[in-house]
């Protein structure tokens, strides 16, 4: 609207363009009576300032070499200003001027005296005193930068030929300047200063006060032609123009308003980024990345000792050549199994788990083995449940073993083939040959704990409760899992962190046991797991850890040992189980890191410092996730907050950077 106050800024390096009488433009002179032209260099940036505590407008007035001119009128005008504190430097030296520029909290820098610009406007000089001390703006650069940082908002050079000075001052990003384009008569300079400060201190906006004072000089043009053309504004476009009556509040409210506006933008962007990421996560897009990050953190946890409660009896290729293995079916003959169980039973282990399929009866030639399988109160065998999609037949249990001493061997792998979950119980299909609802590892652990009179406790929500330990069940969405078949009682498998997953417990071979090369104490009160580790039997699995085998997999027997160890360690040693935050707490967690990214962008304008701060925050996030997983078993999201931190930081940095240009 024609009544609007408008500051039209012309960004140019051209000396000729800066000299043009822009105020004669009809747009300015007639159409918009509250508009004014300002000049600006094309390159500029936002400067962070520290406000002073005083409520008065603080003016540093430099009265330079006044030979041939009268600055008494200027001094009187400055001294009569309301709500102002003026410090006069009369013909100072460079050192004294620099010391004052470094003082805290100047609002206005005023210079009256002689000055000159080069013919092409590429530089300007001011005459400080009558000792022929001539200064360039470059010689005052650090003092001016400090003054701007401390709150300097306006420079008035009420001296001749100031365009070169203004171009030099623009390089230090001073917010506003008033200079004279050409040599200026004493009378014009004095009247302009008086008119400008009169309007400005009475509450007019900066650029409107300049216009009114400039136009009032028209009354002098009969004596001094083009007087109203001489004053011109140089404006840093990203700095808020200074107002006299805002001197007290501008030190606080402007910065607060600007920061508040950015904070609102940061909150909005953080909320939007968090919502977007959690929505994408809900549809499983991030699941693969989250599981990969989980695996990496699992591998970085501190090492733990092997589980001394377990003993693993392995059947490998050399064990197939034992005399006892003649006529074997599968990896263990009836004779070898009979001798093995007799050898183990005499030293009273707590439980013996046979992780080998035996869907056939014992040969009648070995009645003692059949009797042992039927009557032993510490023997657990294995079968395989049927599944309509992967294995419609399953594997039946040994006919001699009762249902209460059976466990299914089924494992659950993720889509990438990695085994991360522990199936504790599952409802068998009606036609399944394996009718037990308990996993083999669960049965072995329960029999071991029963010797210490620790039994499952009933809970209202049917959560597995052993001793004082509750086993957190996976119900999707759960942590990094969004798309998952969560049937059965599943928990995360908190692998024992070892130098190699093969070192989960002490191991002996079938040959060593049959030849009595093992000490009785290695068996007494232990949970014994028997199974094959031979490459000829396809029972190998990929886990988050890399094993010593060529393909990086470990045998199913060692996986069973990890599962048994997890239940025993959680119940008896209070070793953490893996659990996750609630959905709402995960949103808060991601939002917090997203907000941090925005605050970093608000704090660090420099691209280098911004990148370094984001990287440092990312390392803190990774460290926090690793510490929580290692110490308490809490699997907190890593990928979503890392993405939120970076995306919000970049978006807010771009917003702040683009608005500062």
In a domain, 448, yes or no: yes
The last residue of one of the domains, among 549, 572, 595, is 572
Maximal CA-CA distance, the chain: 135
| Structure letter (DSSP) for residue 27 | I
How would you label 596-622 residue by residue, b for 16+ Cβ within 10 Å and e otherwise?
Answer: bbbbbbbebbeeeebeebbeebbeebb
State pLDDT tens for residues 50-95.
655 566 888 988 888 878 788 888 889 888 888 888 999 888 888 8
- % of the chain at pLDDT higher than 70: 95
In a domain, 261, yes or no: no
CA distance 182 to 115: 10
Cβ-contact 167, 122 below 8 angstroms = yes
Residues 129 and 278 in one domain: no
Q: 154: Cβ–Cβ under 8 A, 6 or more apart, which residues?
A: 107, 108, 109, 175, 176, 177, 178, 206, 242
**Whole-angstrom Cα Rg for the chain:** 42
The angle formed by the CA atoms of residues 461, 467 and 468, to the nearest 5 degrees, is 70
| Structure letter (DSSP) for residue 458 | P
Residues 76 and 146 in one domain: yes
- Confidence check: pLDDT of 634 > 90: yes
Q: Alpha helix (H) ranges present in 115-224?
A: 141-149, 163-170, 186-201, 206-216
Burial of 206 (0-12, 13-18, 19+ CB in 10 A): buried
In a domain, 648, yes or no: yes
CA distance 172 to 307: 68
CA distance 59 to 54: 12
H/E segment holding residue 634? none
What is the SS3 assignment for 328?
coil
Give the mean pLDDT of 601-629. Answer: 93
What is the SS3 assignment for 63?
strand
Tokens representing 21 are 């009488």
In a domain, 301, yes or no: no
Give the mean pLDDT of 291-320. Answer: 95
Q: Give residue 456's pLDDT band: very low, low, confident or very high (50, 70, 90).
A: very high
| Residue 245 phi, psi dihedral angles, 5° rounding | -75, 0
Strand order, beta sheet including 57-63:
6-11, 35-40, 231-235, 176-180, 154-157, 108-112, 57-63, 84-90
Tokens representing 197 are 């400060």
Residues 238 and 335 in one domain: no
Of 324, 645, 303, the closest CA to residue 515 belongs to: 324
Q: Which of 340-354, 370-384, 510-524, 643-657 has the lowest mean pLDDT?
A: 643-657
The whole-number pLDDT of residue 548 equals 67
- % of the chain at pLDDT higher than 90: 55
Q: How far apart are the first and last CA of the chain?
A: 26
What is the SS3 assignment for 194?
helix
Q: Give residue 13's pLDDT band: very low, low, confident or very high (50, 70, 90).
A: confident
The whole-number pLDDT of residue 140 equals 85
H/E segment holding residue 87? strand 84-90
Residues pairing with 365 in the sheet: none
The whole-number pLDDT of residue 53 equals 52
The last residue of one of the domains, among 553, 572, 591, is 572
The whole-number pLDDT of residue 436 equals 95
CA distance 359 to 345: 23
Residues 97 and 115 in one domain: yes
In a domain, 411, yes or no: yes
In a domain, 614, yes or no: yes
Residues 158 and 227 in one domain: yes
* Average pLDDT of the residues of the chain: 89
Number of domains in the chain: 3
CA atoms in the 13 A half-sphere facing the CB of 531: 29
Q: Indicate the pTM of the whole model.
A: 0.64
- Confidence check: pLDDT of 654 > 80: yes
Higher pLDDT, 328 or 120: 328
Q: Give residue 242's pLDDT band: very low, low, confident or very high (50, 70, 90).
A: confident
State pLDDT tens for residues 162-185.
888 888 888 888 889 999 888 888
Residues 560 and 589 in one domain: no
Residues 443 and 561 in one domain: yes
Q: Give residue 248's pLDDT band: very low, low, confident or very high (50, 70, 90).
A: very low
Residues 88 and 194 in one domain: yes
Indicate the angle between helix axes 639-659 and 583-603, nearest 10 degrees: 30
Residues 77 and 108 in one domain: yes
- Confidence check: pLDDT of 251 > 50: no
In a domain, 268, yes or no: no
Chain centroid to Cα 147, Å, comes to 36
CA distance 295 to 289: 10
CA distance 99 to 441: 80
Q: Alpha helix (H) ranges present in 378-515?
A: 440-450, 510-514
CA atoms in the 13 A half-sphere facing the CB of 128: 16
State the residue for tokens 């506003």: 176
Residues pairing with 456 in the sheet: 466
In a domain, 264, yes or no: no
Residues 484 and 567 in one domain: yes
State pLDDT tens for residues 340-398.
999 999 999 999 999 999 999 999 999 999 999 999 999 999 999 988 777 788 999 99
Tokens representing 611 are 């990148």
Q: Alpha helix (H) ranges present in 106-175?
A: 141-149, 163-170
Q: Which of 158-167, 271-280, 466-475 has the lowest mean pLDDT?
A: 158-167
Report CA-CA distances (Å) from 187 to 146, 195, 325.
33, 12, 120
- Confidence check: pLDDT of 249 > 70: no
Tokens representing 152 are 């300097």
Tokens representing 42 are 């094309």
Chain centroid to Cα 535, Å, comes to 44
Residues 539 and 445 in one domain: yes
Cβ-contact 422, 491 below 8 angstroms = yes
Residues 565 and 630 in one domain: no
For every residue of 245-289, DSSP letters joined together read GGHHHIIIIIHHHHHHHHHHHHHHHHHHHHHHHHHHHHTTTTHHH
The whole-number pLDDT of residue 258 equals 64
Q: Which of 28-37, 115-124, 308-317, 488-497 has the lowest mean pLDDT?
A: 115-124
Give the mean pLDDT of 453-458. Answer: 93
Per the structure, the complete domain to which residue 216 belongs is given by 51-242
């Amino acid at each position: 609207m024609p009544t609007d106050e408008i500051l039209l800024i012309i960004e140019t390096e051209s000396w000729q363009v800066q000299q043009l009488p822009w105020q004669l433009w009809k747009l300015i002179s007639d159409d918009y009576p509250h508009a004014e032209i300002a000049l600006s260099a094309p390159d500029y940036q936002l400067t962070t300032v520290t406000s002073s505590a005083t409520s008065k407008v603080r003016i540093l007035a430099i009265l330079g070499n006044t030979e041939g001119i009268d600055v008494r009128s200027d001094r009187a005008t400055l001294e009569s200003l309301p709500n102002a504190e003026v410090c006069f430097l009369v013909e100072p030296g460079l050192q004294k001027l620099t010391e004052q520029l470094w003082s805290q909290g100047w609002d206005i820098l005023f210079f009256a005296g002689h000055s000159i610009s080069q013919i092409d406007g590429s530089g300007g000089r001011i005459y400080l005193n009558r000792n022929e001390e001539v200064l360039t703006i470059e010689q005052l650069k650090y003092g001016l930068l400090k003054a701007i940082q401390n709150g300097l908002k306006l420079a008035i050079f009420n001296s001749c030929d100031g365009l070169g000075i203004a171009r030099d001052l623009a390089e230090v990003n001073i917010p506003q300047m008033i200079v004279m384009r050409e040599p200026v008569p004493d009378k014009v300079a004095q009247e302009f200063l008086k008119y400008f400060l009169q309007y400005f201190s009475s509450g007019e906006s900066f650029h409107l006060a300049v216009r009114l004072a400039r136009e009032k000089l028209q009354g002098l043009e009969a004596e001094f032609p083009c007087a109203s053309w001489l004053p011109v504004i140089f404006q840093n476009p990203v700095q808020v123009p200074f107002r006299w009556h805002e001197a007290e509040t501008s030190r606080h409210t402007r910065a607060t308003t600007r920061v508040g506006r950015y904070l609102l933008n940061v909150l909005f962007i953080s909320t939007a980024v968090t919502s977007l990421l959690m929505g994408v996560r809900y549809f499983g897009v991030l699941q693969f990345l989250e599981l990969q990050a989980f695996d990496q953190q699992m591998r970085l946890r501190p090492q733990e000792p092997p589980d001394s409660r377990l003993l693993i009896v392995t059947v490998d290729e050399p064990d197939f050549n034992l005399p006892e293995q003649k006529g074997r079916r599968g990896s263990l003959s009836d004779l070898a199994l009979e001798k093995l169980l007799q050898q183990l039973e005499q030293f009273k282990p707590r439980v013996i788990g046979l992780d080998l399929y035996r869907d056939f009866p014992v040969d009648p030639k070995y009645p003692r083995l059949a009797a042992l399988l039927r009557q032993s109160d510490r023997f657990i065998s294995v079968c395989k449940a049927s599944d309509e999609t992967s294995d419609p037949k399953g594997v039946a249990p040994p006919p001699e073993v009762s249902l209460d001493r059976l466990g299914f061997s089924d494992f659950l792998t993720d889509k990438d083939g990695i085994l991360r979950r522990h199936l504790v119980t599952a409802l068998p299909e009606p036609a399944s040959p394996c009718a037990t609802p308990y996993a083999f590892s669960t049965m072995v652990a329960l029999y071991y704990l029963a010797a210490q009179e620790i039994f499952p406790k009933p809970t209202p929500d049917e959560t597995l409760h052993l001793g004082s330990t509750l086993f957190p069940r996976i119900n999707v969405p759960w942590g990094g899992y969004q798309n998952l078949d969560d049937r059965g009682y599943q928990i995360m498998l908190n692998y024992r962190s070892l130098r190699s997953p093969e070192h989960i417990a002490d191991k002996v071979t079938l040959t060593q046991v049959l030849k009595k090369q093992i000490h009785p104490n290695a068996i007494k009160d232990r949970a014994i797991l028997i199974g094959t580790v031979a490459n000829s039997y396809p029972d190998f699995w990929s886990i988050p850890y890399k094993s010593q085998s060529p393909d990086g997999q470990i045998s199913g027997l060692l996986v069973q040992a990890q599962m048994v160890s997890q239940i025993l360690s959680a119940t008896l040693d209070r070793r953490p189980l893996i659990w996750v935050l609630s959905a709402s707490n995960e949103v808060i967690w991601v939002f917090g890191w997203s907000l941090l990214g925005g605050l970093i962008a608000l704090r660090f304008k420099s691209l280098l410092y911004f990148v370094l701060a984001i990287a440092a925050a990312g390392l803190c996030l990774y460290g926090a996730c690793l510490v929580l997983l290692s110490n308490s078993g809490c699997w907190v999201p890593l990928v979503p907050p890392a993405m939120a931190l970076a995306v919000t930081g970049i978006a807010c940095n771009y917003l702040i950077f683009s608005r500062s240009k």
